[in-house]
């Protein structure tokens, strides 16, 4: 694709020879002729001068530092994403239902949709235009899958769940399994029926082996444009707000309300029945045990240090409670304090 066309279709400013034919993307270090690269992280600034790419994507304040033809953008990373989408378009599947697939009574599958080998589509399920259901997927009874949605192989969607338009679900994900609901009685557990659904909005991406539990009474809701990484657990009756992104191995207990435009770092652990305001950033590995009402960046993990030093710090932290009590006693002016001070 011509560099000038890439500029026009991404909204970037062209600086240099627009007639260059760009065929691939590559890193600053590995790029060669016919390839375009990008610089968005200052950490890789030094590699710009040495790159052998035919063209680069850079911010306006960096543009003068290279004579290479370039796309100039205020957000080079987003422009890189747009260029990559143009150079590596998603492959369309051949429409139709594979002869080995099983389709339940009353299911409605659009003529332009594709259902792969050994997939199972339940009774009265609805699969929209150009949707793709990969090999060995299981789509339960009464499930609705929107137009242009893509389920990679071995995705399981339990009965009654709703998948929005243009949503992508990667292999191994399970949508709508029972939430972890049990009542304790006389030394035994009584399972609570989970009768809600999972409702997933438009333009959502759900990573491999991520699990989203159905609601106990109401629905678990993933709003539009949410991006979920691999191996995330979302408990029953959660609601994840529009444009929120959550990194891998995060665990979210039941009935959590996460606002719009939040960013949750990998391996964060979020306790149940709390809320997180719009625009909150939670650092990787942070434990969230209470609601967050004010936007900002929240971190709750102790920094890495050599093991010997960590042990000394851990001992000091164990003493904080007693030290705090002694300080409070001093602040109250405990008997003998003044005399002790004079003797000193």
Give the residue numbers marked as catalytic: 236
Three-state SS annotation for 26-69: CCCCCCCCCEEEECCCHHHHHHCCCCCCCEEEECCCCHHHCCCC
Q: What is the largest CA-CA distance in the chain?
A: 95
How far is residue 219's CA from residue 240's CA, in Å, rounded to a whole number? 12
The DSSP call for residue 307 is H
Q: Three-state SS for 176?
A: strand
Nearest to 52 by CA among 76, 81, 26, 73: 26
- Cα 284 to Cα 124, 277, 281, 288, 296: the distances in Å are 42, 18, 10, 11, 14
Contact by Cβ (8 Å): 294, 278: no
Phi first, then psi: give them for residue 6, nearest 5 degrees: -60, -40
Helix (H) or strand (E) holding 322: helix 320-331
CB neighbours of residue 266 within 10 Å: 16
Terminal-residue alpha carbon distance, the chain: 83
């Amino acid at each position: 694709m011509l560099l000038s066309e890439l500029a026009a279709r991404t909204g970037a400013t062209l600086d240099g020879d627009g007639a260059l034919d760009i065929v691939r993307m590559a890193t600053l270090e590995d790029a060669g002729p016919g390839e375009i690269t990008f610089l968005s992280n200052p950490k890789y600034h030094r590699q710009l001068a040495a790159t052998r790419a035919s063209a680069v994507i850079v911010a306006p304040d960096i543009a003068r530092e290279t004579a290479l033809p370039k796309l100039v953008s205020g957000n080079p990373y987003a422009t890189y994403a747009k260029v990559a989408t143009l150079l590596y378009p998603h492959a369309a599947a051949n429409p139709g239902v594979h002869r080995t697939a099983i389709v339940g009574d009353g299911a409605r599958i659009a003529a332009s949709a594709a259902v792969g080998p050994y997939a199972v589509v339940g009774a009265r399920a609805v699969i929209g235009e150009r949707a793709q259901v990969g090999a060995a997927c299981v789509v339960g009874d009464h499930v609705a899958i929107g137009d242009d949605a893509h389920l990679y192989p071995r995705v399981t969607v339990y009965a009654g769940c709703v998948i929005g338009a243009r949503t992508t679900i990667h292999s191994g994900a399970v949508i709508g399994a029972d939430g972890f609901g049990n009542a304790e009685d006389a030394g035994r557990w009584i399972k609570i029926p989970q009768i809600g659904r999972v409702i997933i909005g438009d333009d959502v991406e759900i990573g491999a082996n991520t699990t989203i539990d159905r609601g106990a009474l109401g629905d678990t809701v993933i709003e539009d444009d949410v991006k979920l990484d691999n191996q995330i657990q979302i408990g029953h009756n959660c609601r994840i707000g529009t444009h929120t992104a959550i990194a891998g191995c995060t665990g979210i207990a039941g009935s959590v309300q996460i606002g719009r435009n939040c960013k949750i770092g990998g391996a964060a652990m979020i306790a149940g029945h709390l809320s997180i305001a719009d625009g909150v950033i939670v650092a990787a590995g942070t434990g969230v045990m209470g609601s967050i009402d004010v936007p900002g960046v929240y971190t709750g993990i102790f920094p890495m240090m050599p093991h010997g030093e960590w042990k000394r710090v851990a001992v000091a932290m164990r003493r904080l409670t007693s030290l705090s009590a002694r300080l409070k006693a001093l602040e109250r002016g405990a008997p003998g304090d003044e005399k002790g001070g004079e003797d000193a």
